[in-house]
C-alpha cells in the first residue's frame, strides 16, 4: 500500500489515504479477501481537462485571493481572503452576542490551523505540498500569525464570559509550541489570543491529538472502529466536544476551516472559515 503524507498531523493518523474493505468468499470452504483501495477524498471525475483549473493557474488565483500575488508568504489584510474571513467573524460575533444560553457554562471552540493561526506562509514555502518535517519546523518555531480579525473575536467572547477552547489535530508533542504561538511566550510569533480556559476537572483547554496509546477514555470509546483504533478527525473532534459538554459547557459556537472541524455535532452553531489550500477529510 503506498504511503502518502496528508496535510496535517491528524491526517497521518488515518489509515493513510485508503479504506480497505475485506470481503470473505466462502465457496469451497476457503476464505478470500478482496481489498478495495479508495481515495480519502471522494469527488467527481472530470470528463475533460477543460473542467478543471490548471494547477499552476489555480495557485496564482489563490495567491491573488490572499493578496499575495508574488508569493512572498505575507497575506494582505485587504485581500479577498481577509474580507471573507471578516464576514464569517461578523456573523459569529453577532451570534455570540445574541445567543441565549441555558444549558451550562457558555463556551466557544476553535480549530488552530487556518482558523486561529494563518498557515499561508507555509503554503507558499511548501508550494502546497505538506511535509510533516518542514511543517513541524514552522510549528515549533511558532511562525504563524493570527488569522485576520480572529483575536478580536476571541477576546470579545472572553469579555462576554465565554470559556475559550482550542481543538487541533496537531500532535500532543506540539502542544507547548502551539500554546506559545497562540498566546504570548516571547518565542516566534505571539498571536495574542487569550489562553485556553482551564476545565472544571483541571484539564487545560488546548486539545492536541494524543497518540492512540494515550487516548483518554472518551476517545478510546469513540474510535474503537476507526482504522488501527486511531481517531478520524471527525471522531477526535466531535468526541472531544462531547467531553466538554459532559463537563457542563454549552458550546455555543464552533469555528473551523475544514468541514471535518465542524461535522459530528456537539455545538449549537458552526462557522466555516475559507480555505482553498487543502482538504482534510
- What is the binding site for Mg ion (CB under 5 A)? 111, 113-115, 257
Closest Cα partner for 263 from 246, 241, 230? 241
| Distance in Å, CB of 165 to Mg ion, minimum | 15
Nearer to Mg ion, 122 or 249 (CB): 122
| Distance in Å, CB of 241 to Mg ion, minimum | 15
Nearer to Mg ion, 114 or 250 (CB): 114
**C-beta pairs of 183-190 under 8 Å, 24+ apart in sequence:** 185/142, 187/141, 187/142, 188/141, 188/142, 188/143, 189/142, 189/143, 189/144, 189/145, 190/142
| Distance in Å, CB of 167 to Mg ion, minimum | 10
Cα–Cα distance measured from residue 49 to residue 8, given in angstroms and rounded to the nearest whole number: 28
Nearer to Mg ion, 250 or 257 (CB): 257
Q: Which residue is nearest to Mg ion (CB)?
A: 113
Nearer to Mg ion, 157 or 273 (CB): 273
Nearer to Mg ion, 79 or 119 (CB): 119
CA distances from 220 to 15, 84, 213, 231 (A): 16, 37, 9, 8
Nearer to Mg ion, 115 or 142 (CB): 115
SS3 content of the chain, % helix, strand, coil (to 5): 40, 15, 50
Q: Which three cell numbers stand for residue 219?
A: 476517545
| Distance in Å, CB of 111 to Mg ion, minimum | 4
Nearer to Mg ion, 68 or 113 (CB): 113
Closest Cα partner for 76 from 165, 145, 177, 12? 145
| Distance in Å, CB of 257 to Mg ion, minimum | 4
Q: How many residues does the chain have?
A: 281
At residue 102, the 3 state secondary structure works out as coil
Q: Which three cell numbers stand for residue 215?
A: 487516548
Helices 55-65 + 80-98 axis angle, to 10? 60
Closest Cα partner for 117 from 41, 206, 55, 11? 206
Q: Which three cell numbers stand for residue 229?
A: 483504533
| Distance in Å, CB of 46 to Mg ion, minimum | 27
| Distance in Å, CB of 187 to Mg ion, minimum | 22
| Distance in Å, CB of 114 to Mg ion, minimum | 4
Nearer to Mg ion, 101 or 272 (CB): 272
Amino acid at each position: 500500500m503506498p504511503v502518502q503524507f496528508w496535510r496535517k498531523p491528524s491526517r497521518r493518523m488515518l489509515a493513510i489515504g485508503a479504506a480497505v474493505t475485506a470481503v470473505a468468499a466462502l465457496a469451497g470452504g476457503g476464505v478470500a479477501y478482496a481489498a478495495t483501495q479508495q481515495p480519502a477524498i471522494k469527488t467527481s471525475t472530470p470528463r475533460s481537462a477543460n473542467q478543471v483549473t490548471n494547477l499552476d493557474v489555480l495557485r496564482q488565483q489563490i495567491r491573488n485571493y490572499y493578496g499575495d500575488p508574488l508569493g512572498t508568504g505575507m497575506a494582505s489584510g485587504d485581500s479577498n481572503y481577509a474580507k471573507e474571513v471578516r464576514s464569517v467573524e461578523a456573523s459569529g460575533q453577532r451570534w455570540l452576542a445574541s445567543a441565549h444560553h441555558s444549558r451550562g457554562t457558555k463556551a466557544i471552540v476553535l480549530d488552530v490551523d487556518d482558523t486561529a493561526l494563518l498557515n499561508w506562509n507555509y503554503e507558499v514555502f511548501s508550494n502546497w505540498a505538506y511535509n510533516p518535517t518542514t511543517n513541524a519546523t514552522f510549528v515549533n518555531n511558532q511562525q504563524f500569525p493570527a488569522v485576520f480579525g480572529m483575536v478580536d473575536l476571541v477576546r470579545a467572547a472572553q469579555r462576554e464570559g465565554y470559556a475559550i477552547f482550542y481543538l487541533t489535530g496537531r500532535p500532543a508533542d506540539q502542544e507547548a509550541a502551539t500554546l506559545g504561538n497562540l498566546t504570548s511566550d516571547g518565542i516566534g510569533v505571539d498571536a495574542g489570543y487569550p489562553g485556553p480556559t482551564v476545565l472544571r476537572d483541571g484539564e487545560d483547554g488546548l486539545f492536541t491529538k494524543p497518540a492512540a496509546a494515550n487516548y483518554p477514555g472518551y476517545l478510546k470509546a469513540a474510535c474503537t472502529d476507526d482504522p488501527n483504533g486511531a481517531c478520524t478527525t471527525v471522531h477526535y473532534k466531535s468526541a472531544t466536544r462531547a467531553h466538554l459538554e459532559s463537563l457542563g459547557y454549552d458550546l455555543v459556537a464552533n469555528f473551523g476551516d475544514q468541514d471535518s472541524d465542524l461535522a459530528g455535532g456537539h455545538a449549537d452553531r458552526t462557522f466555516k472559515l475559507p480555505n482553498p489550500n487543502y482538504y482534510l477529510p
